[in-house]
């Protein structure tokens, strides 16, 4: 067997592909499901925290800063393991899917809050003052004048961060969430062949290369508009 | 409340687990000392290729970088560690981690350098060349110093991510901090060792995150 045949036999064995591709596909759906749930909940929570911080209540700000710093500093896998193995012992039983979703949501919310907050700070003070002087309340000025300008600025960094955190859905495999990587490693050990791992990698590429390309496009487009 | 303390902040168990975790912390630090320089150097190489004078080279780099940015690092690691042995390439956990994370972090560092290089005005390049500097000298003495200054916060931010990334090495049984903590957890049936590991990560990275916030604010001002 020459090297090329060995390569095909190891990573693209046709019998293994036909036997296991449905498993990888079901993993792909789980990955998409968790990813979407994390993006929606994480961005919403991050924005809510940034808005809350804009009210500049000392105790609230301090709590938010501690939360954000912690989840920016901790490796997500550490938090996943603490929640997954620790919480059941104090009577909180969450499914592995829920643990993965919750942890990634908190991580994304922390990074998103920081980015949204930087966006809010970057809006010139005159915008606030002008909005308030027309008779808008604080909340109204925030929602109708400041946030629309702030969010535009945050789109490029937010996109990149969201992509990076969404890819962490692969951590679910450690606690047995049946996402792509989990299906691929299981199928690899059953089949004694690395083809499912290759299928899994291809599934991730199909899912994330377009997202990365859109992220790149957003980055250049917004950079260009700023200039 | 008592159960919570028992389960997450059990001092007796933390004291018992301490020596094991300290060993793990040391492995984590050596891993960082290996992967961060590899990523910084690999990323610089990737960025220089991505901004090359030759269009073919520039275009060829885009899919390469995109592939390594699109693959979750854990997927890349498992592929290198569990997939390559089927092709006859046997790697130790340490080697697999070094290869997978070097590729992953090079792609990320590379994108950061590239953005920095793109931000240096063209006039700088032309002025440097017109003073008689060669293309390589211009890159090394004029473009890169300005580029690195501009993207310094992003470089720091990515370095924090790389340190956090090393925790994934626990999945391939490399006895770094998280792996040691999880071993202690499975022996004691108690989450306190992982909480202790989390505290060590915080001690290591919280100052960096604070520094980063200040750096970001200063650059924005």
Token pair for A77: 């896998």
Could you say which of A69, A77, A174 has the minimum Cβ distance to residue B210? A69
Cβ separation of A91 and B3 shorter than 8 Å? yes
Q: How far is A7 from chain B (nearest CA, A)?
A: 7
- The pLDDT assigned to A1 comes to 64
Residue B33 CA, chain-centre distance (Å), reads 10
CA dist., res. B65 & res. B80, Å (int)? 17
Per-residue DSSP letter, A183 = H
Cβ separation of B78 and A167 shorter than 8 Å? no
CA dist., res. A114 & res. A111, Å (int)? 5
Greatest distance between any 2 Cα atoms in chain A: 80
Least confident of A136-140, A223-227, B55-59, B130-134: A223-227
Angle (CA) A193 B76 A27, round 5° = 65
Could you say which of A69, A78, A197 has the minimum Cβ distance to residue B198? A78
Give the number of A-B residue pairs with CB atoms closer than 8 Å.
147
Cβ separation of B161 and A194 shorter than 8 Å? no
CA dist., res. B71 & res. B49, Å (int)? 21
pTM summary value? 0.90
User: Residues of A with CB below 8 A from B191's CB?
Assistant: 81-82, 85-86, 89
Cβ proximity of A191 and A12 under 8 Å? no
Cβ separation of B178 and A73 shorter than 8 Å? no
CA dist., res. B198 & res. A79, Å (int)? 8
Could you say which of B73, B198, B220 has the minimum Cβ distance to residue A74? B198
CA dist., res. A16 & res. A1, Å (int)? 19
Angle (CA) A181 A211 B121, round 5° = 130
pLDDT digits (tens, 9 = 90+) for A1-12: 677 888 888 889
- The pLDDT assigned to B221 comes to 59
Cβ separation of A10 and B168 shorter than 8 Å? no
* H or E element that contains A128: helix A125-133
Per-residue DSSP letter, B59 = H
| Residues in chain B where the model's pLDDT stays below 50 | none
Q: What's the mean pLDDT in A153-159?
A: 86
Check if B167 contacts A (Cβ < 8 Å): yes
CA distances in angstroms from B149 to A36, A105, B117, listed in the order given: 36, 32, 10
CA distances in angstroms from A206 to A25, A49, A97, A194, B63, listed in the order given: 12, 33, 23, 19, 13
Window 127-156 of B, Cβ < 8 Å to A: none
A227 pLDDT exceeds 70?
Answer: no
- The pLDDT assigned to A223 comes to 61
Cβ separation of A118 and B66 shorter than 8 Å? no
Cβ proximity of A97 and B195 under 8 Å? no
Burial B170-195 (b: 16+ CB within 10 A, else e): bbbebbbbbbbbbbbbeebebbbbbb
Arithmetic mean of pLDDT over chain A: 91
Q: At what angle do helices B177-188 and B192-220 cross, to 10 degrees?
A: 150
Residue of A nearest to B10 (CA): A86
- The pLDDT assigned to A226 comes to 47
Cβ proximity of B133 and B142 under 8 Å? yes
Query: How many angstroms separate the first and last alpha carbons of chain B?
Result: 45
Cβ separation of A90 and B7 shorter than 8 Å? yes
ipTM attached to this prediction? 0.89
Cβ separation of A69 and B4 shorter than 8 Å? no
pLDDT digits (tens, 9 = 90+) for A172-209: 999 999 999 999 999 998 888 899 999 999 999 999 99
pLDDT digits (tens, 9 = 90+) for A88-123: 888 899 999 999 999 999 999 999 999 999 999 989
A225 pLDDT exceeds 60?
Answer: no
Could you say which of B75, B182, B220 has the minimum Cβ distance to residue A200? B75
Could you say which of A79, A181, A212 has the minimum Cβ distance to residue B74? A181
């Amino acid at each position: 067997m020459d090297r090329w045949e060995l390569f095909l036999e190891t990573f693209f064995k046709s019998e293994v592909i036909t036997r296991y591709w449905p498993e990888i596909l079901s993993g792909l759906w789980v990955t998409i499901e968790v990813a979407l749930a994390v993006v929606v909940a994480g961005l919403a929570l991050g924005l809510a925290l940034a808005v809350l911080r804009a009210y500049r209540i000392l105790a609230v700000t301090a709590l938010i800063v501690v939360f954000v710093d912690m989840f920016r500093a901790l490796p997500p896998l550490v938090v996943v393991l603490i929640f997954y193995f620790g919480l059941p012992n104090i009577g909180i039983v969450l499914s592995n899917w829920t643990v993965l979703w919750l942890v990634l949501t908190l991580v994304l919310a922390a990074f998103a809050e920081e980015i949204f907050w930087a966006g809010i700070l970057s809006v010139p003070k005159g915008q606030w003052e002008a909005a308030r002087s027309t008779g808008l309340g604080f909340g109204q000025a925030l929602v109708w004048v400041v946030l629309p300008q702030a969010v535009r600025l945050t789109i490029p960094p937010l996109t990149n961060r969201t992509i990076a955190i969404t890819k962490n859905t692969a951590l679910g495999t450690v606690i047995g969430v049946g996402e792509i990587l989990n299906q691929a490693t299981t199928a690899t050990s059953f089949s004694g062949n690395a083809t499912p791992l290759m299928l899994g990698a291809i599934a991730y590429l199909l899912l994330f290369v377009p997202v990365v390309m859109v992220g790149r496009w957003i980055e250049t487009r917004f950079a260009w508009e700023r200039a | 409340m008592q159960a919570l303390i028992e389960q997450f902040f059990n001092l007796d168990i933390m004291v018992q687990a301490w020596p094991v975790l300290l060993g793990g912390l040391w492995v984590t630090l050596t891993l960082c000392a290996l992967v961060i320089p590899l990523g910084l150097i690999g990323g610089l190489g990737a960025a220089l290729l991505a901004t090359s004078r030759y269009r073919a080279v520039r275009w060829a780099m885009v899919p390469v970088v995109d592939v390594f940015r699109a693959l979750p690092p854990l997927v890349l690691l498992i592929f290198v560690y569990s997939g390559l042995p089927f092709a006859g390439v046997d790697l130790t956990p340490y080697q697999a981690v070094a290869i997978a994370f070097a590729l992953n972090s090079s792609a990320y560092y590379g994108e950061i350098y590239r953005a920095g290089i793109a931000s240096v005005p063209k006039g700088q390049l032309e002025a440097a060349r017109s003073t008689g500097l060669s293309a390589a000298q211009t890159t090394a003495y004029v473009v890169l110093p300005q580029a690195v200054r501009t993207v310094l916060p992003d470089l720091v931010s990515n370095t924090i991510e790389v340190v956090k990334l090393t925790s994934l090495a626990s999945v391939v049984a490399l006895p770094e901090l998280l792996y040691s903590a999880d071993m202690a957890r499975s022996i004691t049936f108690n989450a306190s060792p992982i909480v202790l590991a989390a505290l060590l990560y915080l001690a290591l990275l919280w100052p960096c995150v604070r520094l980063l916030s200040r750096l970001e604010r200063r650059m924005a001002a």
